[in-house]
Chain A
Amino acid sequence: MRRVVITGAGTINPLGRSVPETFDAMRAGRCAIGPLELEGIERLSVRIGAQIAGYDPAARFSRSQLTLYDPFTQFALIAAAEAVAQAGDAALASDRAGVVLGTSGGGLQTQDGNYRAVYEAGKDRVPPLVVPRLMANAAASHLSMTYGIRGPVSTVSTACASSNHAMGQALALIRAGQADVMLTGGSEAMLCFGGIKAWEGLRVMARDTCRPFSADRTGLVQGEGAAVFVFEERERALARGAKVLAEVAGFAATSDAGDILAPDPDGAARAMRGALADAGLAPEEVGYVNAHGTGTAANDRSETAAIRAVFGAHADRLRVSATKSMHGHLIGAAGAVELLACLMALNAGVIAPTVNYRVPDPDCDLDVVPNAAVEASVEAVLSNAFAFGGLNAVLALRQG
């Protein structure tokens, strides 16, 4: 079977404007959650989030580009530029290159702003390019246009699992020979009035900050940003002398077929087992699991039970951290940004911590790497993503 490796990584997220900045922040255990600044904040009860502080679109894009680029497209383009620079121009020089990105909200800020204009301000006219700016495939299409990528290009939307499902598809396309190289990952820009108001309704949002696995957690905190990777067929990457960041060894997706919101540990466990089997990994070979770890009571307990079910006694030797405690929940980009923590574990031997951790919870009794990064030599990792709708998607990486 054709094997797949990562030859480029890029990001913009609340922890940093690049992969090195993000690694530094994760190593330092920095939390990017703070007071939200956005239009209409006075009518929101949720007032904290992880924003990309000081982000200035005009510094990165021309006025004509911004007419077309919703923030989720901007984030994807910024992340991709770093990933492509690392992989080298030769990486994408093929008709057999593609893009598959995850997003949940797509161009939500474009929708929100234009609904505000027509409903609240009573305007009868919107700008001409609202539709191509808000469509969920806008980011993927602009990556395709920017880099001349002419093979399979698409978008996956499975709420909080979007980018893991997207990266799983990229892996499958390359393995199956339908593409030799893929830009993949996810992008999300949901921090606007409507994007937060909808989440308020669920009453699962944290009051103070995000404290995954800590007994005093009060829920999740939203973030924004993107991470994009170059996935490449291994022989091709080696032949052109590319630096290999990791092997994408396996993937599995399962569905709970149960509740629309409540997670089922069995569905999560089946996805983790499936990813291990697909990668040909024994549970004991895994040293780190990047948890979905949202900081809700329901997720954290269910995920702990699932990890224990999959890893048995080895669960007590695993490092399991929830980096959402630092960068917030990037929803459709969550798995992509969290894959960076996996790369740091594999390549630098540093496990990103679960910050804001205060009180042990007997229902979440794994080594969650509380508050401070630790050094550990890790051969293989899992990255979990579990979405509303009962959809579970798990990636397995090993050293390349």
Chain B
Amino acid sequence: MTVQDRVIAILADQALLDPSDVTLDDTLESLGLDSMGLVETIFAIEEAFDITVPFNANAPQESGFDVSSVRSIVAAVQDLATQRA
């Protein structure tokens, strides 16, 4: 599975959707994920990729981890996974 497939699988699991229903243009809002769902998602991503995601729920926009869309989350995870490798 690619990074993209794995991130989408994690988001789909959190949003109680089938992965085929999640597109790169989806947002947290369109997936119905609230702030707690996002924190759970980030935890699942960290566990799946063995990375540390810089994310602070108080200042999400300044965390250096772009959560504005599925596409941006996939890209951010790819970056972090590459840095780790």
Residues of A within 8 A of B (CB): 45, 201-207, 217-219, 261-262, 295-298
Q: Is the CB of B36 within 8 A of A219?
A: no
Residue from A202, A203, A205, A297 whose CB has the most chain B CB atoms within 10 Å: A203
The smallest beta-carbon distance between A310 and chain B, in angstroms, is 25
Residues of B within 8 A of A (CB): 35-36, 39, 42-43, 52, 55-59
Residues of A contacting B36 with CB < 8 Å? Answer: 261
Residues of B contacting A201 with CB < 8 Å? Answer: 39, 43
The smallest beta-carbon distance between B65 and chain A, in angstroms, is 11
Q: Is the CB of B59 within 8 A of A203?
A: no
Supposing A201-B43, A203-B39, A203-B42 touch, asked if A218 and B52 sit within 8 A by C-beta, the answer is: no
Q: Is the CB of B52 within 8 A of A203?
A: no
Smallest CB-CB separation from A207: which chain B residue?
Answer: B56
Instruction: Identify 25 residue pairs between A and B in the complex whose beta-carbon atoms are under 8 Å apart, listed by A's number.
Output: A45-B52, A201-B43, A202-B39, A202-B57, A203-B39, A203-B42, A203-B56, A203-B57, A204-B56, A204-B57, A204-B58, A205-B56, A207-B56, A217-B59, A218-B56, A218-B58, A219-B56, A219-B57, A261-B36, A262-B35, A295-B58, A296-B57, A297-B57, A297-B58, A297-B59
Smallest CB-CB separation from B59: which chain A residue?
Answer: A218
Smallest CB-CB separation from B43: which chain A residue?
Answer: A201
CA A154 – CA B56 in complex, angstroms?
Answer: 37
The smallest beta-carbon distance between B53 and chain A, in angstroms, is 9
B58 contacts which of A45, A219, A261 (Cβ < 8 Å)? A219
CA A298 – CA B42 in complex, angstroms?
Answer: 19
Smallest CB-CB separation from A216: which chain B residue?
Answer: B59
CA A202 – CA B57 in complex, angstroms?
Answer: 8
CA A334 – CA B42 in complex, angstroms?
Answer: 30
The smallest beta-carbon distance between A218 and chain B, in angstroms, is 5
Smallest CB-CB separation from A204: which chain B residue?
Answer: B57
Residues of A contacting B43 with CB < 8 Å? Answer: 201
Residues of A contacting B55 with CB < 8 Å? Answer: 203
The smallest beta-carbon distance between B33 and chain A, in angstroms, is 14
Smallest CB-CB separation from B52: which chain A residue?
Answer: A45
Q: Is the CB of B39 within 8 A of A296?
A: no
Supposing A203-B39, A203-B42, A261-B36 touch, asked if A296 and B52 sit within 8 A by C-beta, the answer is: no
The smallest beta-carbon distance between B41 and chain A, in angstroms, is 11
Residues of A contacting B59 with CB < 8 Å? Answer: 217-218, 297
CA A218 – CA B56 in complex, angstroms?
Answer: 7
The smallest beta-carbon distance between B28 and chain A, in angstroms, is 15
Smallest CB-CB separation from B55: which chain A residue?
Answer: A203
The smallest beta-carbon distance between A82 and chain B, in angstroms, is 35
CA A357 – CA B35 in complex, angstroms?
Answer: 26
The smallest beta-carbon distance between B10 and chain A, in angstroms, is 16
Given contacts A203-B55, A204-B58, A217-B58, 17 further A-B contacts (CB under 8 A): A45-B52, A201-B39, A201-B43, A203-B39, A203-B42, A203-B57, A204-B57, A206-B58, A218-B56, A218-B58, A218-B59, A219-B58, A261-B36, A262-B35, A296-B57, A297-B59, A298-B58
Residues of B contacting A297 with CB < 8 Å? Answer: 57-59
CA A297 – CA B58 in complex, angstroms?
Answer: 5
CA A296 – CA B43 in complex, angstroms?
Answer: 20
CA A206 – CA B55 in complex, angstroms?
Answer: 11
The smallest beta-carbon distance between A369 and chain B, in angstroms, is 22
The smallest beta-carbon distance between B51 and chain A, in angstroms, is 13
The smallest beta-carbon distance between B71 and chain A, in angstroms, is 22
CA A202 – CA B56 in complex, angstroms?
Answer: 9
CA A296 – CA B56 in complex, angstroms?
Answer: 10
CA A217 – CA B58 in complex, angstroms?
Answer: 8
Residue from B35, B39, B57, B58 whose CB has the most chain A CB atoms within 10 Å: B58
Smallest CB-CB separation from B57: which chain A residue?
Answer: A203
CA A297 – CA B36 in complex, angstroms?
Answer: 14
CA A204 – CA B39 in complex, angstroms?
Answer: 10
CA A205 – CA B56 in complex, angstroms?
Answer: 7
Residues of B contacting A207 with CB < 8 Å? Answer: 56
The smallest beta-carbon distance between B69 and chain A, in angstroms, is 20
The smallest beta-carbon distance between A6 and chain B, in angstroms, is 35
The smallest beta-carbon distance between A214 and chain B, in angstroms, is 11
CA A202 – CA B39 in complex, angstroms?
Answer: 7
CA A207 – CA B42 in complex, angstroms?
Answer: 18
- CB-CB nearest 6 A-B residue pairs: A219-B58, A297-B58, A203-B57, A204-B57, A218-B58, A296-B58
CA A49 – CA B35 in complex, angstroms?
Answer: 25
Smallest CB-CB separation from B63: which chain A residue?
Answer: A203
